[in-house]
Amino acid sequence: MEMTSTSLKRGCLVVEDNDSMTPHDETKKQKVSEGCVTSSQDGVENDGLHSSENEPGPPEAESTVKDDENSSVQVQEEEEEEEDGLSEAGEEEEAESFADMMKHGLTELDVGICKFVSSHHGFSGILKERYSDFVVHEIGKDGRISHLDDLSVPVDEEDPPEDALTVLTAEDRQQLEELQLFKNKETSVAIEVIEDTKEKRTVIHQAIKSLFPGLETKTEDREGRKYIVAYHAAGKKALAKVRAAADPRKHSWPKSRGSYCHFVLYKENKDTMDAINVLSKYLRVKPNIFSYMGTKDKRAITVQEIAVLKISAQRLAHLNKCLMNLKLGNFSYQKTPLKLGALQGNHFTVVLRNITGTDEQVQQAMQSLRETGFINYYGMQRFGTTAVPTYQVGRAILQNSWTEVMDLILKPRSGAEKGYLVKCREEWAKTKDPASALKKLPVKRCVEGQLLRGLSKYGMKNIVSAFGIIPRNNRLMYIHSYQSYVWNTMVSRRIEEYGLRPVPGDLVLKGATPTYIEEDDVNSYSIHDVVMPLPGFDVIYPKHKISEAYREMLAADNLDIDNMRHTIRDYSLSGAYRRIIIRPQSVSWEVVAYDDPKIPLFNTDVDNLEGKPPPVFASEGKYRALKMDFSLPPSTYATMAIREVLKMDTSIKNQTQLNTSWLR
């Protein structure tokens, strides 16, 4: 069942975060960011793959960027023909209720989240009752918050006229695309000019050349009628250039114009990869010509900057007429693409509806958030939703226990999963035949499908190679989940042992270099300066009791803290540093009264573009809502900030058990 709202009773909170999904790798020198030190810029984007286990995003402390492909959405060539959607028959619901399934899920305690920093009494509320209650605006490196506030197209004399985008019919477009890609036996396509004027013929010529690079056009008279005839000027050798993502529209792109069109993408209830896949289909290009600085979650309204290679602002703006829940604007041409992780953070506008806290409680909670902050835990979505936490897979990889890796990913488990996955797991448990289990998956781009394909190709005795078929970023997510689990646990121990003050032996950063706090220096630092390491071969550990706690925790998992290099280079962890307390910036709030749960409580960018007046609130109403605004660096989780305000467990397990009315 789809979870469409989340009621936060005492002890329970929300599931889905929309924090900046700026991924990470552990294989290079540490770099400092507001919430962390990055150990590399080696992306762990999800490659456009569907993750069936709610795989963790990469630990955001270590913000990362792809080595060679920026933040491109990856598409497996052999899977391009797969349907994106799943058949209804493949998604039969089990009789077991969602609440029953989630009895087997994780709680915050299971992943080391157990401390708060504030002393106020918590209260309950509803987060994401409407996806429009959670709005995220990306903050660029220059500190500018992205807004969609301009739909105009830059004036460019070399752009075709606006009519060029509408003059061709759907049938014309289909025939021309098939001709362009040599998908039919025809050598040309003839389009009759119904209203024959020179201007009309010119527009058709421009439309074909701009929308279908590689085709040339000419005008012919046939039995007294005028036709525009499209054909390949260079024969089939032109096809390679047409198909090359690195060389689209080369012949028609003005030399004076930057190669990348940057624009602001406003999206509702759709994640970044889905949005880019939609745009690429409408534009008939590959998704990997798009780049971005961070991914944004689905159940929210988000605003972020996107760049695309050699697609004109005019073509992009035209999509606004046919897109649902997406809007493009603020166009400009630049010389470079965007790089994953090259952002300052995100600004959040969050509404918690139907709150139970008094005005005094709200005031105490929000002042504490503004002045002290919250523990910079990795959130629950890092660890999956089923009875097999993703950190367990990561631990098995680090242990070189490949049979266990295979078993953990493929074995049946309790928890919320789609029916086709349940059947696939059952088939695997019964037959241990990867080909047979694979047949149960209508879409094979999930991690299970990738692994089963690998096992079919390489055999059960070569699990390492079979696992290697899973895109690198997805494989690394498991390891990063384990690091996140260790970090959460150790930070809870650190706060339990020493409280919210720096002590001798703690680590702080000077530039990108970690140094110890000495006895004489304690008063020179605050708790906001203290960092803790994610385990790896290139980090140092605190010089107090927590250092031994790290060693004991890894030893209990049969791992040697002094040897975090793996026999397979990809799985060697260099480590990173992450601040233990984050203080949000630009914190503001107000409590408003309302009667109708369906009315929006603030205007979005699109509302403002359409000239809608802001909502007016009565002094009293049936319900009260807390509207919060705050900015976070890219390594942090908004749900962890909200957890501190409400004093609640953010796990789905706790939430569903304590709040069955939410499910109804």
- Give percent helix, percent strand, percent coil of the chain, each to the nearest 5: 35, 20, 45
Q: Are 7 and 15 in contact, with CB atoms under 8 Å apart?
A: no
Residues 649 and 643: their CA atoms lie apart, in Å, by 7
User: Taking Cα atoms as reference points, which of 407, 417, 359 lies closest to residue 385?
Assistant: 417
Of the candidates 25, 133, 172, 297, the residue annotated as catalytic is: 297
- What phi and psi values does residue 264 have, to the nearest 5 degrees? -95, 130
Tokens matching residue 173 = 């477009």
All residues at 6 or more sequence positions from 664 whose CB lies less than 8 Å from its CB, including other chains: none
Residues 355 and 206: their CA atoms lie apart, in Å, by 58
Residues 132 and 300: their CA atoms lie apart, in Å, by 6
The secondary structure of 563-579 as a DSSP string is ----SSGGG----EEEE
Q: Which residues of 384-409 are buried (b: 16+ CB within 10 A; e: fewer)?
A: bbbbbbbbbbbbbbbeeeeebbbbbb
E strand or H helix at 496: helix 472-498
Q: Are 14 and 6 in contact, with CB atoms under 8 Å apart?
A: yes
Report in angstroms the alpha-carbon separations of 52 from 261, 410, 437, 454: 33, 11, 15, 17
Residues 663 and 640: their CA atoms lie apart, in Å, by 23
Q: Are 286 and 244 in contact, with CB atoms under 8 Å apart?
A: no
Q: Are 618 and 649 in contact, with CB atoms under 8 Å apart?
A: no
Q: Are 250 and 312 in contact, with CB atoms under 8 Å apart?
A: no
Q: Go through the chain and tell me how many residues it has.
A: 664
**Sheet with 188-192, edge to edge strand ranges:** 188-192, 225-232, 215-222
Q: Are 368 and 190 in contact, with CB atoms under 8 Å apart?
A: no
Q: Are 541 and 547 in contact, with CB atoms under 8 Å apart?
A: yes
Q: Does residue 297 carry a catalytic annotation?
A: yes
E strand or H helix at 277: helix 272-283
Catalytic residues: 297
